[in-house]
Chain A
Amino acid sequence: MTGIWITVGIAVVLVIAIIAIYNAIINRANAVERAWANVITQERQKNKIIPHLEDVVKDYKEFEQGTLTKVTELRSALQGLDSGKVDTAKLEQAEAKTGELLKSLNVTVENYPELKASETYQKLMREITDQQENIGAAIRIFNQNVEDFNNGIEVFPNSLVNAMLNRKEKIKTFSDSQAEEGFEYKPNI
């Protein structure tokens, strides 16, 4: 009789452990999705800045030809981002387009000292820098959560539970040196 109770006890503990691991994997997957949605939300904030940028540069011919094409390309890249589906390639594309636009802005503005010195332009650049920092930080949070998730499905016995029940696949972290450079806050001593 005791033997049966011990067997039942072990079975109950095993079932509870499996449920706990299963739920932990789901929680970590949800955290990755949330962090990804956060990255996309931050990326889409650029849509708020772009009209202001267009307003500022519309009176400058050189900007209209070169920079505004890059603005259109960035808009199109932002539209391709889906907050419901982790797609680091599209994020990389949007970040690359942002980088191109900023580079073009920095080069072209040198020909217009009065524009460069204007308060509106300065404020706009500060806002863009701030936005890039937030994207860099959001990507960092996403990568941390991905690391948590990947560890959560790879360590034993989680790997067994995942193979049998969750069937989640390892997620790639986002690696983009430009975006990471955008976030420079390092108070560690």
Chain B
Amino acid sequence: MVISELKSFPGGYQLKTKVYWAIFTGLLLATTVFGYWDWSQRQYFQQSTWIIIAIGGLLTVLAGITAYYPHHLMSKVSHALLQRDGLLDNNLTLVSFNGKATAQQFQQRFSEFNRGNYSREIKELFKGSYQGDEYSFDYHYYHFHYVDERIVTETYTDSNGRVRTRTRREYDHYDRYGLILPFGLLRNFVVIGFNLPGAGKATYKPASNRFNRVFKVIAASQIEAAKAMKPTVVVAFEELSNVLSKINFEVNDAADLCLSFADKDLIATPNKVNISEFDAFIEALEGEQEFEKLRATLSHVHYVMTKLDSNF
């Protein structure tokens, strides 16, 4: 429906901003040439010259904004449409939520959200579903924003020349992203690739140097960890660390998984085409967009599930 409306728009999507660009270029050249000529006459600017240059500069900026802004707006709209289309193609639907309350709920379920001494908030929440060969599951994709407050002490010299100290508060902003889903198969099991608040020492170290350089494993017991961290699972985590950065794989006592990471482009449209290239844009909308990183991450979760469920 959106596509047919786009196609039926009579005006076309080519922006006619050539006149504004010409005015912008003309004004820029005229102001510069006039300023140069006036300076070469007296080696200084008269008050009237300053006024002319200021007006010329202002008009140049206005012409520039008028010429550029429609392009900017069109890129923004194109990106928003493609992004929305990508979400639909990947069966992701926006969930209505309260950012702070949801962060608090998640914090009660997973240590991952126990970050930020000043504030914690969920910025985005989408619901999706995954159909694997052996397992199918619903999941939530989230964007978590947290802020750390720290007090900085600095020294300064006052008007009387005395050295004094003063403190001020600084706020560091951070973002984490992740997937939450019912996992089953394990409980209280964590593979840590990025500082997890409250996590203790590793309970098990697999044989892989590459794995141990990136991750540590915490489970209820060493035997449980050894049983879960089969060679296939270990190598799968090594591979996942090539796809995502700062990974934490946390299964809580309710057997729910929170797979968190620092990558913000899991559900970002890979398409950069603009609506002004109309045919290519429509082709992109009509085609299937694949969020490859999301697919790789979900396939990792599915793979680990299949490897953990085999009990002969």
A binds B: yes
Chain A interface residues (CB < 8 Å from chain B): 28, 31, 34-35, 37-38, 42, 48-49, 52, 123, 126-127, 130, 133-138, 140-142, 144-145, 148, 183, 185-189
CB of A56 to closest CB in B, whole Å: 13
A76 to B292, CA, bound (A): 46
- Flag if B242 contacts A188 (CB, 8 Å): yes
Chain B interface residues (CB < 8 Å from chain A): 206-211, 230-232, 234-236, 239-240, 242-243, 292-293, 296, 299-300, 303, 307, 310, 312
A112 to B125, CA, bound (A): 53
Q: Give the residues in chain A near B293, CB-CB below 8 Å.
A: 189
Quick one: which of B209, B230, B240 has the most chain A CB within 10 A? Answer: B209
Q: Give the residues in chain B near A136, CB-CB below 8 Å.
A: 231
- Flag if B312 contacts A183 (CB, 8 Å): no
CB of A29 to closest CB in B, whole Å: 12
A142 to B208, CA, bound (A): 7
From B213, which residue of chain A is reached at the shortest CB distance?
Answer: A148
Q: Give the residues in chain B near A141, CB-CB below 8 Å.
A: 206-208, 210-211, 231, 234-235
Q: Give the residues in chain A near B231, CB-CB below 8 Å.
A: 38, 42, 134-138, 140-141
- Flag if B292 contacts A148 (CB, 8 Å): no
Please tell me which one of the listed residues A49, A148, A185 contacts residue B236 in the complex, with CB atoms under 8 A apart: A185
Give the number of A-B contacts (CB < 8 Å): 75
Q: Give the residues in chain B near A140, CB-CB below 8 Å.
A: 231, 235
- Flag if A144 contacts B210 (CB, 8 Å): yes
- Flag if B232 contacts A137 (CB, 8 Å): yes
CB of A95 to closest CB in B, whole Å: 15
Quick one: which of B230, B240, B303 has the most chain A CB within 10 A? Answer: B230
CB of B205 to closest CB in A, whole Å: 9
CB of A49 to closest CB in B, whole Å: 7
A181 to B209, CA, bound (A): 22
Q: Give the residues in chain A near B243, CB-CB below 8 Å.
A: 187-189
4 shortest interchain CB distances as A-B pairs: A137-B231, A138-B231, A35-B207, A141-B208
Q: Give the residues in chain A near B240, CB-CB below 8 Å.
A: 187
A127 to B230, CA, bound (A): 14
- Flag if B235 contacts A183 (CB, 8 Å): yes
- Flag if B234 contacts A137 (CB, 8 Å): yes
- Flag if B210 contacts A183 (CB, 8 Å): no
- Flag if A185 contacts B303 (CB, 8 Å): yes
- Flag if B232 contacts A134 (CB, 8 Å): yes
A148 to B293, CA, bound (A): 29
- Flag if B303 contacts A144 (CB, 8 Å): no
A141 to B239, CA, bound (A): 12
CB of B75 to closest CB in A, whole Å: 26
Q: Give the residues in chain B near A31, CB-CB below 8 Å.
A: 207, 209
Q: Give the residues in chain B near A187, CB-CB below 8 Å.
A: 236, 239-240, 243, 296, 299-300, 303
- Flag if A38 contacts B235 (CB, 8 Å): no
Q: Give the residues in chain B near A48, CB-CB below 8 Å.
A: 312
- Flag if B208 contacts A144 (CB, 8 Å): yes
Q: Give the residues in chain B near A49, CB-CB below 8 Å.
A: 312
Sample of 21 A–B contacts (CB below 8 Å): A31-B209, A37-B207, A38-B207, A42-B231, A52-B312, A126-B310, A134-B230, A137-B232, A141-B208, A141-B210, A141-B234, A141-B235, A144-B208, A145-B208, A148-B209, A185-B232, A185-B303, A187-B296, A187-B303, A188-B243, A189-B293
